[in-house]
Amino acid sequence: MKEEFIQRYSRQLILPGFGTEAQKKLSASSVLVIGAGGLGVPVIQYLTAAGVGRLVVADDDVVELHNLQRQVLYGRDDIGSNKVELAARRLQAINPHVRVEAWPERITSQNALSLLKDFDLVMDCTDNLVSRYLINDACFLNDVPMVYGSLFQYEGQLSVFHLPLPDGSRSPNYRDLFPLPPPPGQMTDCSEGGVLGTLPGIIGTLMASEAVKILARIGEQMHSRLFLFDALRFKSRALRFAPHPKNPLRGNPPPLRQLIDYEAFCGISESFVPAEEEMEARELRDRMQSGSKITLLDVREPGEYELTSIGGINIPASQLKEKLSLLKGQEALILICRSGIRSARLLPDLKVHFPGREIYHLRGGLLAWKAEVDPGFPMY
């Protein structure tokens, strides 16, 4: 056994129940990490340091300034550069004995089955519903275990799916927790809701820990349980879950045998608001400039509104029901948020509460305003 091997991994080798055999298994393993953002950064750093044999990082994203609050592998000089290519170089410097590969591409229904099939473990470090269902189904169909993590504001969660069990079966998966996605517009990602900068480090490190245990075949894995962590209240709990009777991957024969259009499945590929209830950014500009009687209702959080706005009343979506009296009047009401997701979700209830009133939401939100009306408008 080489001296460098012993020196590099000595603190793992002397662990009770670990030893050289576990390290050799880890060093012979192959891992695909999908996502090189908040969760992916701590995962790839710790798996590289731990000594996995082959580490592939897949992501087509580039570094942006707002990433630096939590994605600590990147710096200001990296803005605009591809994340996985940067990561591969820096990981190789951490541990040259790990074969690190950068895949600067997005995992899709067209390539997932072929890309995922040759790995011992997949790490889902993505941040959206479409990717979660896609990766879950591809891993199930390929019989590849996966570690899942997700973040929102101050809360994080993780679990292990498709893990081989002693009886020959596999542990429950994401669709046993969520057989179907929520109605369109009811899920908000970090770009809309924010995330505490330290939270990805906490959940990502726990994901890496589960990966090491699975690959080295030690300890008890987090399968059949969903770990929940609340950083704001410093509370955690683990919920047990079992196979769900409505999981479309199960059955004999299973109803789902191939990957599907996950954007359509999650309601992302088409608007869930009738076109006549949407207002385009240029139309809103014209109405504002014409002096038309309208009320702008910005439903973002106060912190978002303070950073940038086009005016109007600011009532956060979470407080709207308690403050409806502030919206009395006959003028047209236009709902505004960052991307149009939150405003679209609130629109139906407001139309019920104010029947006959002209109510719209700004299609595409302030992102559309920046793209179509004011390129210099600051967005964060």
DSSP labels for 303-370?
HHHHH---SSEE--GGGGGGGGGGG-SSSEEEEE-SSSHHHHHHHHHHHHHSTTS-EEEETTHHHHHH
Pull the structure tokens for residue 210: 């589960």
The CATH number for 3-265, chosen from 3.40.50.720, 3.30.750.24, 3.30.460.10, 3.30.70.580, is 3.40.50.720
> Is residue 242 within 8 Å of 325, Cβ to Cβ?
no
Angle between helices 83-94 and 40-50 (to 10 degrees): 30
Helices assigned H by DSSP within the chain? 3-8, 10-13, 19-27, 40-50, 83-94, 112-116, 129-142, 174-177, 190-193, 199-216, 262-265, 281-289, 302-307, 341-353, 365-372
Distance of alpha carbon 221 from alpha carbon 163, whole angstroms: 9
Question: What integer is the mean pLDDT of 325-329?
Answer: 85
- Give the confidence band of 181 by pLDDT, cuts at 50, 70, 90: confident
User: What's the half-sphere exposure (Cβ side, CA atoms, 13 Å) at 343?
Assistant: 26
**1 has a pLDDT exceeding 80:** no
pLDDT, greater one: 188 or 75: 75
**268 has a pLDDT exceeding 70:** no
**251 has a pLDDT exceeding 70:** yes
Neighbours of 265 (CB within 10 A): 17
Q: How far is CA 234 from CA 77, 105, 231, in A?
A: 34, 36, 5
- Give the confidence band of 189 by pLDDT, cuts at 50, 70, 90: low
pLDDT at 172: 96
pLDDT digits (tens, 9 = 90+) for 206-222: 999 999 999 999 999 89
pLDDT at 272: 60
pLDDT, greater one: 246 or 99: 99
DSSP structural state of residue 217: T
Question: Is 125 a known active-site residue?
Answer: no
Q: Name residue, tokens 């057989």.
A: 179
**39 has a pLDDT exceeding 60:** yes
Pull the structure tokens for residue 300: 């973002």
Question: Is 139 a known active-site residue?
Answer: no
**188 has a pLDDT exceeding 70:** no
Pairing, β 155-161 against β 225-230:
antiparallel
- Give the confidence band of 270 by pLDDT, cuts at 50, 70, 90: very low
- Give the confidence band of 122 by pLDDT, cuts at 50, 70, 90: very high
Cis peptide before 253 (omega within 30 of 0): yes
Name the percent of the chain lying above pLDDT 90: 63
> Is residue 124 within 8 Å of 78, Cβ to Cβ?
no
- The one catalytic residue among 125, 139, 266, 337: 337
Q: Name residue, tokens 């509104």.
A: 305
Q: Name residue, tokens 């088409």.
A: 270
Nearby residues of 222 by Cβ (< 8 Å), 6 or more positions away: 158, 159, 160, 210, 238
Question: What integer is the mean pLDDT of 134-145?
Answer: 95
Q: Name the residue ranges covered by the structural domains of the chain.
A: 3-265, 275-372
Amino acid in position 321? K
- The one catalytic residue among 125, 139, 190, 266: 190
pLDDT at 326: 87
Alpha carbon 290 to its chain centroid, in Å, reads 41
Question: What integer is the mean pLDDT of 44-65?
Answer: 95
**Per this entry, what is the length of the chain?**
380
**372 has a pLDDT exceeding 80:** yes
Q: What is the CATH number of domain 275-372?
A: 3.40.250.10
Neighbours of 137 (CB within 10 A): 24
